[in-house]
Amino acid sequence: MRPNRPKISDVARVAGVSTATVSRVLSNPDLVSSDTREAVQEAIRTTGYRLNLAARNLRHQRTGSIVALVPNLANPFFSEILSGIAAVLGEAGYNLLVADTCRTSAQALIDYAEPGRADGLIALDGRLPAEELKGKVPVVVACEWIPGLAAPRVKIDNRAAAGLAIDHLVALGHRRIGHVSGPRGNVLTEARLSGTEEALTRHGLALAGDALQIGDFSLNSGRDAARRWLDLPAATRPTAMFFASDPMACGFIGEVQRHGLKVPEDVSVVGFDDIELVAHMSPPLTTIRQPRHDIGRLAAERLLARLKGETAMDDTVLPVDLVVRGSTAAPRQPA
């Protein structure tokens, strides 16, 4: 015969407390003294008691799940963010579900905001419709932001981050600096482009002619940007290129090198995000490092606070770093 599963009354008996106290430790531990919490936790370990999460969620009319809406799961940028989210939610007893907004129908995405599908949403896609997310389940926005949606946001200062990249290239002596942005209309694209233009203006420079290209954050758009750069007369090419994402910078470097040119000798390259791959390239990529795990962790913490009734809508803006590696150097000849 299968042994009986330990019950909450068994935990209470071993800990020397009431079943109500055990329930408080499991559901609202801040209301219980630290000594009592430790006694209950030790009794749980001793008895092998396991909380029936499904039953608890049903009693509290919860699903026990949080959905992260991600614009492209193939983009390695999101891995560390999701790791940070999962770590916090797991400790709080929630499951993390992930939906790719590029490969899920608009109606299916909207359905996630309906009560009963998930207890809350963490949106990493600024293109989601604000009207469909309002007033349903708690929402926190991370990385990007959704115009018209009142929700806590966890992000970086993208304009200032772009300025760090431009300042670095100017300090090396570059004067013809190009920028490959993300798709127009994307909130990150516009913020990073604005920061690039502001920094260039501050140094008496500008994005002129073919110095600005529109990409889509992907490797292929970086490759295409390299081909357009290679088509320019050598005397007028930008001597340095700043990319709005690391994959675009990687695609650019690969294509330039296939044509026999060298980075940074023939062109300096700066990326954005500091995904794991770029430190192992040849040359390793100079880039803007986002604190991706912290973004995910804080987004999850903000959502848990909202689930407990907190109504604050403050933005959390995290610092970034310029990580200087081998893909940038002074121009070979004065620009």
Average confidence (pLDDT) over 21-42: 82
> Does the structure show a pLDDT above 50 at 114?
yes
- pLDDT greater than 70 at residue 109: no
pLDDT tens, position by position, 153-211: 999 999 999 999 999 999 999 999 999 999 988 889 999 999 999 999 999 999 877 89
> Letter for the amino acid at 200?
L
Q: pLDDT confidence of 242, banded at 50, 70, 90?
A: very high
Residue 106 clears pLDDT 90, i.e. is over it: no
CA–centroid distance for 143 within its chain: 5
Q: What is the pLDDT at residue 318?
A: 95
- Does 59 score more than 50 pLDDT? no
pLDDT one-digit tens code per residue, 245-274: 999 999 999 999 999 999 999 999 999 999
Distance CA 12, CA 32 (A): 14
3-state SS, the chain, equals: CCCCCCCHHHHHHHHCCCHHHHHHHHHCHHHCCHHHHHHHHHHHHHHCCCCCHHHHHHHCCCCCEEEEEECCCCCCCHHHHHHHHHHHHHHCCCEEEEEECCCCCHHHHHHCCCCCCCCEEEECCCCCCHHHHCCCCCEEEECCCCCCCCCCEEEECHHHHHHHHHHHHHHHCCCCEEEEECCCCCHHHHHHHHHHHHHHHHCCCCCCHHHEEECCCCHHHHHHHHHHHHHCCCCCCCCEEEECCHHHHHHHHHHHHHCCCCCCCCCEEEEEECCHHHHHCCCCCEEEECCHHHHHHHHHHHHHHHHCCCCCCCEEEECCEEECCCCCCCCCCCC
Domains of the chain: 8-51 (1.10.260.40), 65-156+292-318 (3.40.50.2300), 158-290 (3.40.50.2300)
- Does the global pTM surpass 0.85? no
| pLDDT for the residue numbered 136 | 76
Q: What is the pLDDT of residues 304-318, one digit of tens each?
A: 999 988 877 789 999
Please indicate whether residue 44 or residue 328 has the higher confidence score (pLDDT): 328
In this prediction, residue 333 has a pLDDT band, given cuts at 50, 70 and 90, of low
Q: Which of these, 314, 254, 310, 308, lies nearest to 282 by C-alpha position? A: 254
